[in-house]
A and B are shown apart, each in its own frame.
Chain A
Amino acid sequence: MALWLAGMIRGASYYKKTLISITTRSSRAFASSGARDADKGSFRTPYMASATAFISRRFRSSVAGQQLDHFSSHDDEDKGQVRTLDFPGGRVPYTSEMRFLPGSSENRVECYRVLDDDGYPLSSTPFQHIDKEVAVKMYRGMVTLQAMDTVIYEAQRQGRISFYMTSYGEEAVNLGSAAALSSDDIVLPQYREPGVMLWRGFELQEFVNQFFGNKNDIGKGRQMPTHYGSNKHNVITISAPLATQLPQAVGAAYSIKMDKKDACVVTYFGDGCSSEGDFHASLNFAAVMEVPIVYICRNNGWAISTPVTDQFRSDGIVVKGQAYGIPSIRVDGNDALAVYNAVGAARKVAINEQRPVLVEALTYRVGHHSTSDDSTKYRPIDEIEHWKTARNPVSIFRNWVQRRSWWSDKQESDFRAHIRKQVIHAVQVAEKTEKSPVGSIFCDVYENVPPNLMEQEKLLKETIRRYPQDFPKDVPLGN
């Protein structure tokens, strides 16, 4: 203990300079630096503040070794008292005190927010300047997402499509993060981030074509509804198995690094995903490969029926990022501005420093897991209501936007009516559109159709001609 303390004292000035990171910094420290800058009359963005912190806290094995020199005393070593272990991963200080690290820290990692539940900026929190144009586009995106969810959920209930997953409650994570990215950033989504595609210009009609699996669906009607992707929009197509996108994202980010692009990879996942082996493989790879990647975890409290208390006993996901050597931040996922700021800052660090950053957004899955689920079987309705009303991310952001006179009640009602009509129109168009021809079952298995599939296609077409009643009428036979 004595040695450890001595080391601490010697290392104190180093820690003062370096240990501030967005994972450990208190909001007060954050606020005061911003306030100081404001006093000087310059608007210093959190991006810059964060970037400084990241640069000064980079753990490589060799760097770790140097850092730990602060703890070792060569004088002591000369006297035969070795105080550090020269380990392959860097020097490690010795201690005579047997002390276990606690399973969790006494205080939970704080949650960064900009707006309160009524959409008022927290006085102590500076926020990134955001243009009216961006803010309004974000808000319109959130409302569009709600309109799409309402109409398509109903369409599924009417049996018009087979399946749907809403994003209710997570609109701010969707649009706040999407707005903070560049369209060159490659996105590997899970399945509850359609807002990112909306932001990038994926049309409502394109979404609805995918839900119906018609001939205009990019995926040719092969995947379940909500499993979309678009090369043009730099969004890699969704796969239903969970967390599989995470290690892939590291490979994609390595490519961006090798190509020296001014972009990063952004990958989304939920709290449940963080239990999968792929999550852990991904974070470790990303830290070791030093790739520009932003992890965005939508910690919405529920993986289908499994609450986070059955999922992990750590303080959420944010501490796991740190455990893998990845700078990490926890944000209020229902505060679009906080998400926008944090993801923007994370993106800058990922690109400028070529390293991974993790953002854990605390939010809530207000909807059922999917149309196959009834979440009232396993969670209290009060809880859902609370998040739907008191913590509604769309209302919070609307309050803020409207208070700045960037939005009005009239615009609200006009836009909601307009967008609803658009979604309904898209459904009507998609429903009337026939499916892809039979041949599209066999293409894209490989780059070229191999002989066994050619033969199976021929046989299938013969069967269809013999028994047309066995097959859906809206799938053309083709050539």
Chain B
Amino acid sequence: MATNLRKFKRFGSMFTSHSNHLRGLSSSPASSGALASADGPILQPAKSINLYTAINQALHIALDSDPRSYIFGEDVGFGGVFRCTTGLADQFGKHRVFNTPLCEQGIVGFAIGLAAMGNRAIAEIQFADYIFPAFDQIVNEAAKFRYRSGNEFNCGGLTIRAPYGAVGHGALYHSQSPEAFFCHVPGLKVVIPRSPKEAKGLLLASIRDPNPVVFFEPKVISFFGLSTSFWIGKLGTWVIREGSDITLVGWGAQLTTMEQACEGISCELIDLKTLLPWDRETVEASVRKTGRLLISHEAPVTGGFGAEISASIVERCFLRLEAPVARVCGLDTPFPHVFEPFYMPTKNKVLDAIKDTVNF
């Protein structure tokens, strides 16, 4: 913990005066599992903030604490279409915070080169739906840079931020949840915060992680989420609430929906936070306790990351399971504009699945 404190102090002066708060939380309902055990979560009191502010603050700290960090992407210069980079170019200069031409493969390729030279390259893809022109750079290049060179080179300083998920009116191309594509790629880390509370710490942890990270920001919480505090996080799993009857696993904005469905039944709700590599031990330990598992995500059910969790838990906990693993996810269709409420894994869909699983 002491080591961690020293590390966090380097994040910026605002942290140095809060060591009491930091220590005070070492015994909070902490996450468990391999990833979480290296660093505990640390609470940092703050004013009520939304997601853009949380992201903006994290980026500010990243620029402030490391002169070799750069932030760039389409429309980033004036503050970005989600306003996450507001004020950063003015404060840190146009050489460190800048617009790129409109070319996602260019943005990621550029970021890999920059990171490979020992910099922190924080690249923004305007919407996760538009990340696919960069798929080759991410999958074949960023993820394999270290492996293919025998660790002669790496692009661990790379973080790709992209807003993702439903937003109420985004339709086919402003709503997708493409996390599963990236969870199929050894060498990447995939991180998703569920609220402004986590976003700041998780983003900083992602920027400082010595591996390339794809960081998806739930758009819906950009607009609606407000938190009174945030966690200086670690790329691990988090048990949001403990319970005994069923384990619910999710990530991102879907956790809010899942949380609403928890009433009346003793649910253990787990925020995976880091999808790749994912904390199988924490989920397994929970399922051994509850005997039941439900996974929920917005992405289409077929081939979604829920399938991986389900398969792994069935492999490891088959004799302990008292019901089939349930998945409540998006439909196997593109994301339809006026039908968004039908497409979504709503609270009542989750609730029905919880009841069916518990009463199996």
Contacts of A438 in B (CB 8 A): 339, 342
Contacts of A213 in B (CB 8 A): 337-338
Q: B61 at the A/B interface (Cβ < 8 Å)?
A: no
In the assembled complex, the CB of B170 is this many whole angstroms from the nearest CB of chain A, namely 7
Q: How far is the CA of A463 from the CA of B105 in the complex (A)?
A: 41
Q: Which of A57-65, A284-292, A306-314 contacts B (4 or more CB under 8 A)?
A: A306-314
**B170-181 to A contact mask, C-beta < 8 Å, 1/0:** 111110000000
Contacts of B334 in A (CB 8 A): 222, 445
**A447-471 to B contact mask, C-beta < 8 Å, 1/0:** 0000011001000100110110011
Q: How far is the CA of A163 from the CA of B170 in the complex (A)?
A: 9
Given known contacts A276-B133, A312-B101, A471-B342, is B173 in contact with A377 (CB within 8 Å)?
Answer: no
A241 and B130 contacting across the interface, CB-CB below 8 Å = yes
**A272-316 to B contact mask, C-beta < 8 Å, 1/0:** 110111100000000000000000000000011110001110000
In the assembled complex, the CB of B236 is this many whole angstroms from the nearest CB of chain A, namely 33
Q: How far is the CA of A305 from the CA of B168 in the complex (A)?
A: 24
A475 and B302 contacting across the interface, CB-CB below 8 Å = no
Q: Which of B41-49, B70-78, B198-206 contacts A (4 or more CB under 8 A)?
A: B70-78
In the assembled complex, the CB of A193 is this many whole angstroms from the nearest CB of chain B, namely 18
A460 and B174 contacting across the interface, CB-CB below 8 Å = no
Q: How far is the CA of A278 from the CA of B343 in the complex (A)?
A: 31
Contacts of A305 in B (CB 8 A): 75, 77-78, 81, 99
Q: CB within 8 Å of A: which of B74-129? A: 74-75, 77-79, 81, 98-106, 129
**A198-228 to B contact mask, C-beta < 8 Å, 1/0:** 0000000000000001000000011110010
Q: In the complex, what residue of chain B is closest to A471 when comparing beta carbons?
A: B341
Q: B346 at the A/B interface (Cβ < 8 Å)?
A: yes
Contacts of B341 in A (CB 8 A): 470-472
Given known contacts A223-B172, A373-B81, is B338 in contact with A242 (CB within 8 Å)?
Answer: no
Q: CB within 8 Å of A: which of B49-77? A: 74-75, 77
B79, B106, B133, B342, most chain A CB atoms within 10 A: B342
Q: In the complex, what residue of chain A is closest to B80 when comparing beta carbons?
A: A305
Q: How far is the CA of A241 from the CA of B104 in the complex (A)?
A: 11
Q: A105 at the A/B interface (Cβ < 8 Å)?
A: no
Contacts of A377 in B (CB 8 A): 78-79
B331 and A441 contacting across the interface, CB-CB below 8 Å = yes
Q: How far is the CA of A440 from the CA of B352 in the complex (A)?
A: 24
Q: B349 at the A/B interface (Cβ < 8 Å)?
A: yes
Q: A378 at the A/B interface (Cβ < 8 Å)?
A: yes
In the assembled complex, the CB of A396 is this many whole angstroms from the nearest CB of chain B, namely 29
Q: How far is the CA of A278 from the CA of B337 in the complex (A)?
A: 26
Q: In the complex, what residue of chain B is closest to A310 when comparing beta carbons?
A: B99
A310 and B81 contacting across the interface, CB-CB below 8 Å = no
Q: In the complex, what residue of chain B is closest to A450 when comparing beta carbons?
A: B332
Contacts of B302 in A (CB 8 A): 452
Q: How far is the CA of A378 from the CA of B81 in the complex (A)?
A: 11
Q: A372 at the A/B interface (Cβ < 8 Å)?
A: yes
Q: CB within 8 Å of B: which of A342-377? A: 372-373, 377
Q: A240 at the A/B interface (Cβ < 8 Å)?
A: yes
A475 and B339 contacting across the interface, CB-CB below 8 Å = yes
Q: How far is the CA of A162 from the CA of B339 in the complex (A)?
A: 13
Given known contacts A222-B171, A463-B349, is B338 in contact with A442 (CB within 8 Å)?
Answer: no
B333 and A442 contacting across the interface, CB-CB below 8 Å = yes
Contacts of B172 in A (CB 8 A): 222-224, 240
Q: Which of B101, B169, B338, B343 contacts A310 (CB 8 A)?
A: B101
A276, A278, A377, A438, most chain B CB atoms within 10 A: A276
B338 and A306 contacting across the interface, CB-CB below 8 Å = no
Q: A239 at the A/B interface (Cβ < 8 Å)?
A: yes
Q: A435 at the A/B interface (Cβ < 8 Å)?
A: yes
Given known contacts A222-B171, A305-B77, A377-B78, is B339 in contact with A441 (CB within 8 Å)?
Answer: yes
Q: Which of A221, A240, A272, A442 contacts B102 (CB 8 A)?
A: A272
B75 and A460 contacting across the interface, CB-CB below 8 Å = no
Q: Which of A224, A272, A277, A378 contacts B170 (CB 8 A)?
A: A224
Contacts of A241 in B (CB 8 A): 129-130, 132-133, 173
B106 and A275 contacting across the interface, CB-CB below 8 Å = yes
Q: B336 at the A/B interface (Cβ < 8 Å)?
A: yes
Q: How far is the CA of A475 from the CA of B332 in the complex (A)?
A: 20
A240 and B173 contacting across the interface, CB-CB below 8 Å = yes
Contacts of B347 in A (CB 8 A): 470
Q: How far is the CA of A239 from the CA of B98 in the complex (A)?
A: 27
Q: CB within 8 Å of A: which of B306-360? A: 331-334, 336-339, 341-343, 346-349, 352
Q: How far is the CA of A275 from the CA of B106 in the complex (A)?
A: 9
Q: In the complex, what residue of chain A is closest to B335 when comparing beta carbons?
A: A222
A378 and B171 contacting across the interface, CB-CB below 8 Å = no
Contacts of A221 in B (CB 8 A): 336-339
B102 and A453 contacting across the interface, CB-CB below 8 Å = no
Given known contacts A221-B336, A305-B78, is B348 in contact with A470 (CB within 8 Å)?
Answer: yes
Q: In the complex, what residue of chain B is closest to A443 when comparing beta carbons?
A: B333
Contacts of B168 in A (CB 8 A): 162
Q: Which of B103, B129, B331 contacts A460 (CB 8 A)?
A: B331
Q: In the complex, what residue of chain B is closest to A161 when comparing beta carbons?
A: B169
Q: How far is the CA of A310 from the CA of B102 in the complex (A)?
A: 9
Q: In the complex, what residue of chain B is closest to A242 when comparing beta carbons?
A: B102
A463 and B348 contacting across the interface, CB-CB below 8 Å = yes
Q: CB within 8 Å of A: which of B122-153? A: 129-130, 132-133
A475 and B338 contacting across the interface, CB-CB below 8 Å = yes
Q: How far is the CA of A350 from the CA of B183 in the complex (A)?
A: 46
Other A-B pairs beyond A241-B132, A456-B331, 14, CB < 8 Å: A162-B337, A222-B336, A241-B129, A276-B104, A304-B74, A305-B75, A305-B78, A310-B99, A372-B81, A441-B333, A452-B332, A464-B342, A467-B348, A475-B342
Q: Give 12 A-B contacts (CB < 8 Å), ordered by A residue.
A: A223-B171, A242-B102, A277-B103, A277-B105, A306-B77, A306-B101, A377-B79, A436-B338, A440-B339, A452-B332, A460-B342, A470-B341
Chain B interface (Cβ < 8 Å from any Cβ of A): 74-75, 77-79, 81, 98-106, 129-130, 132-133, 168-174, 302, 331-334, 336-339, 341-343, 346-349, 352
Question: Nearest 7 CB-CB pairs, A to B?
Answer: A162-B169, A240-B173, A275-B101, A272-B102, A221-B338, A213-B338, A222-B336
